[in-house]
């Protein structure tokens, strides 16, 4: 059995969040992974499967997939090239370099950086590490739900799971995990910010949609097209996936509230999911009958993210002040 790069993260009960939603809230603390986000689960698994004999890996990323790839590559003794768009803050570039990666800044959004990563994989013979669209990533991410099931014990089942959606890899992994433990009847609330809403756009249109641009500050949710598997799941009548949006202001406010109440700093990409708790969205879904009035425990995937520090938080607050 190969050694994992990810940790079995804590499952914390949040008293203050439970107060906000009126049911017990459990936090799966993926922010405490070595690379700062859940991404290491899938990327660790993918690299262990595909990059053992590799002369180098190349990963396109909004930041966190790159952090995971850089960490895993360093541990495997393989060089890593991470391609990020110009929208990634300097602090991410620095953190990637500190992990020993070569960083290339290409294009305005992730889709541009990805085209360059694919080109490098082809011309330099590097192993391409996708940030969200690969079955090995979903298989790796699924381990977080196994851990939740083990932590909760056989007599407790979540009433709903709350996740953020960028390109849809986390969503696909969570659904894979729910299938693994026999929880496919548990509704999944898929959160995005307005302006980084490729999953919501696809759900509304009934087909994959490519956004013109990413206008949200939650840059790590900024894929222009959601992966096909996530869209397929949204069309599957055996599953309940509720796609919802929050504003950038709500996501940022959630980051701040989470920092104050839980003493943990996460990115806006994660704030999008947390905002569902703080903005009253869960209550609205209950009022609308989309979630049961007597809701079982709410499982929140605290996906984390490294593109944040106190300076960046202040910058975002200025940028988003209305
Ligand atoms: N971020 C990807 C895609 O960016 C990346 O390259 O890092 N929460 C955090 C903190 C994330 O970094 C991401 C993805 C998500 C949530 C959403 O995960 P996904 O892409 O699997 O839906 C463009």
**DSSP calls for 80-121:** EEEEE-TTS-HHHHHHHHHTT-EEEE-SSSHHHHHHHHHHHH
At residue 23, the pLDDT reads: 97
Q: Give the gyration radius of the chain's Cα atoms.
A: 18
Determine the distance separating the centroid of ligand 1 and the alpha carbon of 65, expressed in angstroms. Answer: 7
Distance from the alpha carbon of residue 197 to the mean position of ligand 1, in angstroms = 13
* Whether the CB of 164 sits within 6 Å of ligand 1: yes
Exposure b/e, 231-255, CB count within 10 A at least 16 = b: bebbeeeebebbbbbbbbbbbbbbb
Distance, CA of 257 to CA of 32 (rounded, Å): 18
109-165 pLDDT tens trace: 999 999 999 999 999 999 999 999 999 999 999 999 999 999 999 899 999 999 999
- Per residue in 101-122, pLDDT tens? 999 999 999 999 999 999 999 9
Residue 188 pLDDT > 90: yes
Q: Where in the chain is the domain with CATH 3.40.50.1100?
A: 11-38+136-319, 39-132
Q: Outline where the chain has alpha helix (H).
A: 15-21, 39-50, 64-76, 90-98, 110-124, 135-141, 143-152, 169-181, 198-205, 228-234, 248-262, 268-278, 281-287, 310-320
Q: pLDDT at position 322, please?
A: 72
Average pLDDT score over the chain: 97
Predicted TM-score (pTM) above 0.95: yes
Per-residue pLDDT averaged across 54-75, rounded? 97
- Domain 11-38+136-319, CATH: 3.40.50.1100
Residue written as token pair 């669209």: 133
Report the residue among 95, 197, 199, 269 best suited for mutation to probe ligand 1: largest number of ligand atoms under 8 A from its CB. 269
pLDDT reported for residue 1: 44
CB atoms within 10 A of CB 157: 17
Q: How far is CA 269 from CA 62, 118, 191, 266, 283, in A?
A: 10, 24, 9, 8, 22
Q: Options 1.20.1290.10, 3.40.50.1100, 3.90.180.10, 3.30.420.40; which CATH number does 39-132 get?
A: 3.40.50.1100
Q: How confident is the model at residue 2 (pLDDT cuts 50, 70, 90)?
A: low
Q: Give the closest residue (by CA) to ligand 1 atom 17.
A: 166
Ligand 1 center–CA 150 separation, angstroms: 25
**Is the pLDDT at 309 greater than 60, yes or no?**
yes
Report, as an integer, the average pLDDT of 201-227.
97
Q: Which atom of ligand 1 is nearest to the CA of 68?
A: 7
The number of the ligand 1 atom at minimal distance from the alpha carbon of 132 is 21
Q: Are strands 11-14 and 188-193 parallel, antiparallel or unpaired?
A: unpaired
By alpha-carbon position, which residue is closest to atom 15 of ligand 1? 166
């Amino acid at each position: 059995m190969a050694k994992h790069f990810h940790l079995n993260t804590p499952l914390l009960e949040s008293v203050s969040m439970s107060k906000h939603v009126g049911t017990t809230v459990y936090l799966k603390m993926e922010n405490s992974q070595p690379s700062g986000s859940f991404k290491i689960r899938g990327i660790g698994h993918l690299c262990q499967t595909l990059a053992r004999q590799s002369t180098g890996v190349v990963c396109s990323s909004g930041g966190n997939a790159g952090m995971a790839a850089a960490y895993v590559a360093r541990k495997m003794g393989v060089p890593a090239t991470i391609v990020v768009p110009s929208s990634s803050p300097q602090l991410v570039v620095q953190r990637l370099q500190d992990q020993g990666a070569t960083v290339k800044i290409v294009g305005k959004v992730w889709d541009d950086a990805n085209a360059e990563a694919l080109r490098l994989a082809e011309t330099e013979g590097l192993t391409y590490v996708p940030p969200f669209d690969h079955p090995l990533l979903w298989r790796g991410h699924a381990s977080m739900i196994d851990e939740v099931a083990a932590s909760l014990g056989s007599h407790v089942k979540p009433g709903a799971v709350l996740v953020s959606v960028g390109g849809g890899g986390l969503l696909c992994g969570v659904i894979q995990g729910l299938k693994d433990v026999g929880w496919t009847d548990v509704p999944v609330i898929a959160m995005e910010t307005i302006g980084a809403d490729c999953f919501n756009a696809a759900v509304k249109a009934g087909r994959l949609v490519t956004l013109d641009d990413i206008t949200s500050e939650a840059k790590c949710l900024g894929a222009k097209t959601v992966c096909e598997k996530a869209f397929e799941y949204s069309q599957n009548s055996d599953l309940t996936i509720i796609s919802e949006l929050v504003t950038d202001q709500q996501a940022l406010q959630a980051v701040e509230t989470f920092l104050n109440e839980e003493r943990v700093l996460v990115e806006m990409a994660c704030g999008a999911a947390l905002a569902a708790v703080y903005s009253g969205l869960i209550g609205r879904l209950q009022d609308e009958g989309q979630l049961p009035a007597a809701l079982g425990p709410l499982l929140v995937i605290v996906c984390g993210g490294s593109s944040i520090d106190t300076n960046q938080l202040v910058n975002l607050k200025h940028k988003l002040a209305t």
